[in-house]
Structure 1
Amino acid sequence: MTDFEMGPALLFCPASRPDRYGKAMDRADAVILDLEDAVAPQDREEARQSLIANPMDPDRTVVRINPAGSDDFAQDLRALQQTRYKHVMLAKTEEPESLAQLADYSIVALCETAKGIINAPAIAAAPNVVALMWGAEDMIASLGGTSSRRPDGQYRDVALHARSHVLLAAGAAGKAALDSVYVDIADLAGLKEECDDAIASGFTAKASIHPSQMPVIRAAYTPTQTEVEQAQRMLAAAEQTGGVFTFEGRMVDEPVLRHARKTLSRAGLADGQDQMTVPATGSVSDSRAVR
């Protein structure tokens, strides 16, 4: 199975709305065509037919299918077999055994129940899993709760624990970690704050539910000119110094250098030697343009 290379801005789109497929693809880095929660049960067969009849770029498309063992699961698989899609998001993944029927697909395992969160390390270790994503509201519902967030919009402790547990499970297995959606569509400032935290924590990408969230996610994942230049200077100093050293008043060792390399990677620069241009906004781009 290949690594997960989509993102950083992933957009859910109901599979029952083929009129939105192209628009979603134009706005997002990758589209998650949803056969589960975004589609009413009575509309899912029509959604499957739309999935088959309206193909999109398989390298930029993930199909979310219904949970293993559900009435819709087998029907979703039959529809998938009539497409070129190879990236599948399995809703409510709870144990690695549920992935056996998806051996021919690269799986984004959506851990969104208490059982799925607890079993995240074993799920991440499955060979056809390329990424883990966590889901807040379904997880809280599985516990009998009513809301993943406090009145101030911040996650409750149990949700933060689930988020961290899935991130650590993905990282331990060398898989990508995708952050959950931000449901307050109008609160772009809150979305940016959550994106900044996701990046600093190690999430590869963030899923979203509305096109207006795409620019915020992209901007957050694009390092600023200042961040790129600092990373380049730090790595250049490391080549001259080696070992542990002080850089601009900060102690630098190998973990800090890995942070710097990741900053350049997010900017589309492999080693800091590539030529780049800096737009007026202060974000970094080059001929390979960060989406």
Structure 2
Amino acid sequence: MPFDMIGGRTFYAYNSHFKNIMLKCFRKLSTSSSLMDKRYIPRRAVLYVPGSDERKLKKIPSLSADCIVMDCEDGVALSKKEDARSTIHQILQSQAIDFSGKDCSVRFNSVDSGLCEDDMKEILSASHLPATVHLPKVESPQQLEWFAGKMKDILKNSNLSEKLRLIIFTESASSLLDLPAICRRGVELSKDSPFKLDGIVFGSDDYCADIGATRTNEAKELSFARQYVVTVAKAFKLQAIDIVYINYKDLDGLKVQSEEGAGMGFTGKQVIHPGQVPVVQAAFSPRPEKVEWAADLVKAFEEHQRAGKGAFTFRGHMIDMPLLLQARNILQMASHS
């Protein structure tokens, strides 16, 4: 089932019969109590919108990116930080913007900036909270401990139906070297914190500045770091979000880098312009043959469940929980395509 690129939009050539089967399989798998706690949130394209720019914020309902990040950090001038957090609070409080089908996210300022606590107090006091929070420039496990403590205190009187997802950023050489320890501590803190560590973003521009590398479109200077971020993320069962492609008008170059990132194991990519979203989400969408494999696996799983059987083989392979989770993730991403 090939797909075509038409006018910058990608359409899968699923026939309606197959897509109905796929959606039924996803619904069956997602109702399994053992899997509900591990609900996968697709973040193929992660798009930042400055929290101080109301004009751009009002466009969120029309944006097709999986993850929309209302930004308090890099996209906001220092003189506008208070405006950004106040505006984001009002949006969450009033639910004035429709985030249907999107991961409603907020990026705080970094712990070291001295602005993070004010961001958290203002934004997390809203009656409706973001599904995901992003913490940039995480340099050590101790910063995550500080963050967890502040979040616990701010949300101590809240009745959360579900933990907030936490995405952390690695943006320096020292952060990259300490990334396993940072992730390990993040997973430990997730057990009794209001958040669940869910992914890592590689912030390549600050990283290049830190190591003195020259940023190029080909990103060869980032090959090791990108592969390392994916390796650490997958070791801790986290999503891995790839670098920004800065030349937002170069969609051909974006396509090449996006497909390269998907091939490396990244689960999504940062974007800085809405025009980048269709290309990126196409590159990080599961191929039709993978969707068919996942749907067939879920169908086999359901048949063995009804028969009261435990472990089983599928196409010559023993099936365990990680493979079932992989199938669930593929079907959920396909349902967003």
Q: Same fold (TM over 0.5)?
A: yes
Q: Which residue matches 2:107?
A: 64
Kindly provide the amino acid, as one letter, of the partner of residue 134 in structure 2.
M
Distance in 1 (alpha carbons) for counterparts of 2:315 and 2:145: 50
Q: Residues 74-95 of structure 1, C-alpha deviation per residue, up to 9 Å, x if partnerless?
A: 2112222223125211111111
Distance in 2 (alpha carbons) for counterparts of 1:205 and 1:21: 22
Alignment pair present for 1:290 and 2:336: yes
Alignment pair present for 1:88 and 2:151: no
Distance in 1 (alpha carbons) for counterparts of 2:121 and 2:286: 42
Of the structure 1 ranges 175-184 and 22-31, higher mean CA displacement relative to structure 2 is found in 22-31
Uncovered stretches (5+) of structure 1, i.e. residues with no partner: 244-252, 270-284
Distance in 2 (alpha carbons) for counterparts of 1:4 and 1:67: 26
Alignment pair present for 1:156 and 2:220: yes
Q: Which residue matches 1:140?
A: 208
Q: Say which SS state the counterpart of residue 336 (structure 2) adopts.
A: coil
**Which of 168, 172, 184 pairs up with 1:113?**
172
Q: Residues 96-150 of structure 1, C-alpha deviation per residue, up to 9 Å, x if partnerless?
A: 11012332453211001111111111122212321111011100111234x222x
- Checking the alignment, whether the CA contact within 8 Å between 1:222 and 1:267 is kept in structure 2 is no
**Which of 217, 241, 246 pairs up with 1:178?**
241
Distance in 2 (alpha carbons) for counterparts of 1:93 and 1:41: 20
Structure 1 pair 148/4, CA: closer, same or farther in 2 (3 Å)?
Answer: farther
After superposition, residues 259-278 of structure 1 pair within 5 angstroms as 265-268=329-332
Q: Say which SS state the counterpart of residue 113 (structure 2) adopts.
A: coil
Uncovered stretches (5+) of structure 2, i.e. residues with no partner: 1-36, 152-163, 191-196, 301-311
**Which of 46, 71, 86 pairs up with 1:49?**
86
Of the structure 1 ranges 32-41 and 201-210, higher mean CA displacement relative to structure 2 is found in 201-210
Distance in 2 (alpha carbons) for counterparts of 1:77 and 1:19: 23
Alignment pair present for 1:29 and 2:66: yes
Distance in 1 (alpha carbons) for counterparts of 2:173 and 2:295: 42
Structure 1 pair 185/290, CA: closer, same or farther in 2 (3 Å)?
Answer: same
Q: Residues 162-211 of structure 1, C-alpha deviation per residue, up to 9 Å, x if partnerless?
A: 11111111111111111121111011111111221222222122121100
* Structure with higher RCO (Cα < 8 A, 6+ apart): 2
Distance in 2 (alpha carbons) for counterparts of 1:4 and 1:242: 27
Cα drift, residue 267 of structure 1: 5.0
How many residue pairs match? The answer is 256
Q: Provide the aligned C-alpha RMSD in A.
A: 3.2
Structure 1 pair 219/50, CA: closer, same or farther in 2 (3 Å)?
Answer: same
Q: Which residue matches 1:11?
A: 47
